[in-house]
Structure 1
């Protein structure tokens, strides 16, 4: 995969970075943890400039968030509430849970979007609740852009600094993302267990 991404960036330049980061948001198996360090290495070689690499990575990431935002917005909270009331008991999920989640997102949504854009494993998925809860598009774009710029900048600079060893970035970010994902899953399981105890 690394060779394919590098070839795309070599042939399309900045446009290749943009397209890869759009795809990374829609197809999470394409990892930004490889795209941006590789682009940073290209900047270190002098083929590109680091500011433009970060800019194109950020733009691609933000554009890639929009389809999932609109999917969430299209289906909306009420349809999901109806689905949860009808089928959600198998997941211990009710319409009231979705309403409460919507209220929580209204209070913390901007921070969730800003910091969540820097968390591998959930970066792409944050667009769905933002759309479901009709987060204002200007706020969604601003916070997505800020979070994406920090993430793209960090990864690109790491690739720039590591030079030919840019692929080592994924080695360190990969395990960290698994730990974060594991903590999120553990938190979800604890939430389900507590909810079942409260219902007993």
Structure 2
């Protein structure tokens, strides 16, 4: 499928780019990142215009996020439970639910580009849990901008060598993911220490 879609990029250009990012935000198995890398390469060759490629990718992704949020909002928890019946989805949905409950808007932002497999499910969970739509949308757009710019610009920089671009992006995202995990762990430990200190102070005051 990937090679077939890549062959369509020069012909259908912006419509294909928007369609693939839209579909990926609905958890459909579409290689949207590869398509954006290729589109960036075509922009470098002059076959496509860079800002138009970025706009098409962003519009498709944002609309896809909104559809996912809307499905969760309309279908609610029962819709989410039906999705989770598939064993392949259950683990991802539970992880997305826990991430969303713990981090809220930051989870929406990070699941657009850093933890992208969670993205479609975070969309549905946000809608089902009735998270504020404006907050979801703002964080979602910010995250999608990062995702689209990363892949399209990297594809343009490594025009004609998608493997090199993909490997470099994988290394960068892996490094960022590790750093983010360390920061979140540090934040959690600080909060835990503060909570324990508060409990000790409360017990001390009660004893007095």
Question: What's the TM-score, normalizing by structure 1?
Answer: 0.68
Q: How does 1:78-89 map to 2 (within 5 A)?
A: 79=78
Bigger drift between 144-153 and 2-11 goes to 2-11
Residues 2-54 of structure 1: CA distance to partner in whole angstroms, max 9, x if unpaired?
33222332222211111111112224421232011111001001011222211
Structure 1 gap ranges (5+): 84-90, 92-96, 185-200
Q: Please state whether the residue corresponding to 1:163 is helix, strand or coil.
A: coil
Q: Greater shift after overlay, 170-179 or 141-150? A: 170-179
2:15 aligns with 15
Contact kept in structure 2, 1:102 and 1:133, CA below 8 Å:
no
Alignment CA distance shift 1:27-1:176 (3 Å): farther
Q: Structure with the greater relative contact order (CA < 8 A, sep ≥ 6): 1 or 2?
A: 1
Secondary structure at 1:33 match in 2? helix
Cα separation, 2, equivalents of 1:3 and 1:82:
35
1:4 aligns with: 4
| Higher radius of gyration, 1 or 2 | 2
Question: Which residue of structure 1 aligns with residue 87 of structure 2?
Answer: none
C-alpha distance 137-6 of structure 1, shift in aligned 2 (>3 A): same
SS in 1 for 2:52: helix
Does residue 134 in structure 1 map to residue 114 in structure 2? no
Q: Does the alignment pair 1:163 with 2:133?
A: no
Take 2:118 and 2:72, find their aligned partners in 1: how far apart are those partners?
15
1:177 shift after superposition: 7.7
Give the whole-Å Cα distance in 2 for the aligned partners of 1:12 and 1:82.
37
82 and 152 in structure 1: CA distance in 2 versus 1, 3 angstrom threshold = closer
- Asked if structure 2 preserves the Cα contact closer than 8 Å seen for 1:41 and 1:162, the reply is yes
Q: CA 1:81 to 1:173, structure 2 compared with 1: closer, same or farther past 3 Å?
A: closer
- In structure 2, runs of 5+ residues without a counterpart are 83-89, 182-208
Per the TM alignment, residue 170 of structure 1 is displaced from its structure 2 partner at its CA by 3.3
Contact 2:100 2:126 in 1 (8 A): no
Per-residue deviation at 1:166? 2.1
Pick aligned residue for 1:104 from 85, 101, 104: 101
**Aligned pair count?**
166
